[in-house]
């Protein structure tokens, strides 16, 4: 019997990840095992589940994350494909619980599926979010083509240069990604340094950050909201690139037009 059976809220949360994973594949952002998703599902865990034996021995996270005490996460499996997760989330991802020392996790799921290689960065971001009292429960990493292409020049890595171009392409971008796009310089995938730099960027008040020449990392209340932010930003990047492909530098909305948008919609400054 699956751990999701008779647990509607947990099942809904896991199947929402599956839906988002399908979109990532369809968008062309999730080649092979590319990308990862983790969702804090603690609120959906009941006493029976808490009493279940672990399928795995405790494994080291690599960090001590005190705010994750008693927390549970759904995580994409390492080497698993988003397109497979879309069909079968429990064979291509697993549920883990953080042990009381806040330095290890164990798998409590349908079978042993080892979590994503980006687990240290994902979990340290969740730890940071909980410490801050944030309502965000999901983190998403994927490889959106046009946004990654934009990180291949230093011009767009300077603070808020890309953000301002993307905001100015279509009003929706500022309305739905009002904090813009942070930039993290190239660092090895899965490294502690990348995790640390990602948190610093999120702490600088970004919900979405680019990892230079690699991909994007987004946090939000749930995985669909995180996906939407990436989708909106990448759409703006596509419009920018389409204009460039027609042979001109797009004018973009003016600063005054963008200020008007912020005032009328009450967007964060």
Residues known to be catalytic = 118
Instruction: Please choose which of ligand 2HA, Zn ion, none residue 168 contacts, taking the beta carbon within 5 to 8 angstroms, the exact cut-off set by kind.
Output: none
Provide the minimum distance between the beta carbon of 148 and ligand 2HA in the complex, in angstroms, as a whole number.
Answer: 11
Residues 6+ positions from 36 with CB-CB distance below 8 Å: 75, 76, 116, 117, 118, 122, 140, 141
Residues linked to residue 220 through DSSP beta bridges, in sequence order: 138
Q: Which is nearer to ligand 2HA, 35 or 93 (CB)?
A: 35
Binding string to ligand 2HA for residues 161 to 200, with x set by CB under 6 A, is what? Answer: ----------------------------x-----------
| Contacts to Zn ion from residues 88-107, by CB under 5 A | none
Provide the minimum distance between the beta carbon of 116 and ligand 2HA in the complex, in angstroms, as a whole number.
Answer: 5
Q: Which is nearer to ligand 2HA, 114 or 117 (CB)?
A: 117
| Contacts to ligand 2HA from residues 26-45, by CB under 6 A | 33-36
Provide the minimum distance between the beta carbon of 186 and ligand 2HA in the complex, in angstroms, as a whole number.
Answer: 12
Secondary structure letter of residue 70 according to DSSP: T
Instruction: Please choose which of ligand 2HA, Zn ion, none residue 116 contacts, taking the beta carbon within 5 to 8 angstroms, the exact cut-off set by kind.
Output: ligand 2HA
Range in contact with Zn ion (rule: CB under 5 A) among 15-23, 48-56, 147-155, 208-216 = 208-216
Query: Which residue shows structure tokens 């020449």?
Result: 213
Provide the minimum distance between the beta carbon of 35 and Zn ion in the complex, in angstroms, as a whole number.
Answer: 6
Identify the three-state secondary structure at position 181: strand
Give the burial string for 241-254 (b: 16+ CB within 10 Å, else e). beeeeeeeeeebbe
Calpha distance 251→88 (Å, rounded)? 45
Q: Does 124 bind ligand 2HA (CB under 6 A)?
A: no
Provide the minimum distance between the beta carbon of 24 and ligand 2HA in the complex, in angstroms, as a whole number.
Answer: 11
Q: Which is nearer to ligand 2HA, 117 or 134 (CB)?
A: 117
- Nearest CA among 120, 116, 102, 140 for reference residue 196: 120
Q: Does 120 bind ligand 2HA (CB under 6 A)?
A: no
- Nearest CA among 218, 138, 145 for reference residue 182: 218
- Nearest CA among 59, 95, 58 for reference residue 76: 95
- Nearest CA among 104, 102, 138, 105 for reference residue 122: 138
Q: Which of 73, 105, 118, 253 binds ligand 2HA (CB under 6 A)?
A: 118
- Nearest CA among 97, 91, 84, 87 for reference residue 111: 91
Residues 6+ positions from 167 with CB-CB distance below 8 Å: 173, 174, 177, 180, 236, 253, 258
Q: Does 215 bind Zn ion (CB under 5 A)?
A: yes
Query: Which residue shows structure tokens 């497979």?
Result: 84
Q: Which is nearer to ligand 2HA, 7 or 122 (CB)?
A: 122
Nearest position to ligand 2HA, beta carbon: 189
Residues linked to residue 208 through DSSP beta bridges, in sequence order: 181, 218
Query: Which residue shows structure tokens 């410490």?
Result: 131
Interface with ligand 2HA (CB under 6 A): 33-36, 116-118, 141, 189
Interface with Zn ion (CB under 5 A): 215
């Amino acid at each position: 019997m699956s751990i999701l059976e008779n647990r509607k809220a947990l099942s809904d949360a896991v199947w929402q990840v599956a839906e988002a994973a399908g979109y990532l594949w369809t968008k062309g952002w999730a080649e092979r095992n590319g990308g990862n998703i983790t969702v804090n599902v603690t609120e959906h865990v009941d006493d029976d589940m808490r009493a279940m034996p672990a399928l795995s021995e405790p494994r080291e996270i690599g960090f001590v994350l005190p705010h994750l005490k008693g927390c549970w996460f759904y995580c994409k499996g390492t080497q698993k494909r988003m397109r497979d997760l879309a069909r079968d989330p429990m064979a291509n991802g697993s549920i883990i619980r953080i042990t009381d020392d806040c330095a290890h996790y164990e798998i409590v799921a349908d079978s042993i599926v080892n979590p994503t290689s980006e687990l240290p960065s994902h979990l340290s971001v969740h730890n940071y979010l909980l410490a801050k009292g944030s309502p965000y429960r999901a983190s998403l990493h994927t490889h959106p083509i046009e946004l990654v292409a934009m990180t291949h020049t230093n011009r767009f890595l300077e603070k808020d240069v890309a953000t301002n171009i993307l905001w100015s392409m279509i009003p929706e971008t500022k309305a739905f990604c009002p904090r813009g796009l942070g930039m993290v310089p190239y660092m090895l995938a899965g490294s502690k340094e990348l995790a640390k730099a990602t948190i610093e960027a999120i702490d600088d008040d970004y919900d979405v950050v680019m990892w230079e020449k690699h991909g994007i990392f987004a946090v939000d209340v749930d995985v669909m909201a995180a996906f939407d932010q990436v989708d909106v930003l990448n759409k703006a990047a596509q419009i920018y690139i389409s204009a460039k492909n027609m042979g001109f530098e797009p004018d973009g909305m003016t600063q005054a037009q963008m200020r008007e948008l912020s005032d009328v919609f009450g967007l964060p400054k």
